Amino acid sequence: MTMSSSIHAASIVFITFVCIQSMYGAHGDPGATSFVVAACVLLVLFLLSVGRLEAMPPGDTTKRRVLKVVTWLLAAALNLLFAWGVSSILSTGFAAVTWTVAVVATGFEAYILLCLNHHRDVTLHEDEVSETLQKYEAPVASDSCQLQKGSGLSPTTGGGGWK
């Protein structure tokens, strides 16, 4: 189990626990219970979709595109569900602002997921990054504070800055 999949699994367990607590707190109100169940189901499906999208190899662009659309639809449903839930307890002016923000966020998500970098639907893996760095002999930090010797960059003594 990779780190990403264990984080997704822990998130789903946590969301399930919160969903059960929220349903208990609804005290039998069918509207509140259905809102909690819908939100939790959508959120779990969204996390599973994002996890599959992250794990998908970069070569299969058709399946990747379909999964991006599914991910966006789930995100849009979550945005609109929460806007509906919040706007029901707000005054008319604030409810209009809430709906406007939800619609703008949904449009922005569509642009980010579906339009931005569509021509470059490639994920660089760590080995590809290290190959690229070695190919161009870019300085690689041996730890977070030091550069490799011979990289041409070194701190100056006394005055600060780089020579």
Residue 137 lies in a domain: no
- Domain with 36, as residue range(s), is 1-55
Residue 116 lies in a domain: no
pLDDT digits (tens, 9 = 90+) for 58-99: 777 788 888 999 999 999 999 999 999 999 899 999 999 999
pLDDT digits (tens, 9 = 90+) for 18-39: 888 888 888 778 888 899 899 9
Residue 149 lies in a domain: no
Q: Is 5 helix (H, G, I), strand (E, B) or coil?
A: helix
Residue 25 lies in a domain: yes
* One-letter amino acid of 90: L
Residue 122 lies in a domain: no
- Please state the pTM of the whole predicted model: 0.65
Please return the burial class of 8, using the count of CB atoms within 10 Å of its CB with bins 0-12, 13-18 and 19+.
buried
How many domains are contained in the chain?
1
Residue 117 lies in a domain: no
Q: Is 54 helix (H, G, I), strand (E, B) or coil?
A: helix
117: left (phi over 0), alpha (psi -120 to 50) or beta: left
String of DSSP letters for 63-123? HHHHHHHHHHHHHHHHHHHHHHHHHTTS-HHHHHHHHHHHHHHHHHHHIIIIITTGGG---
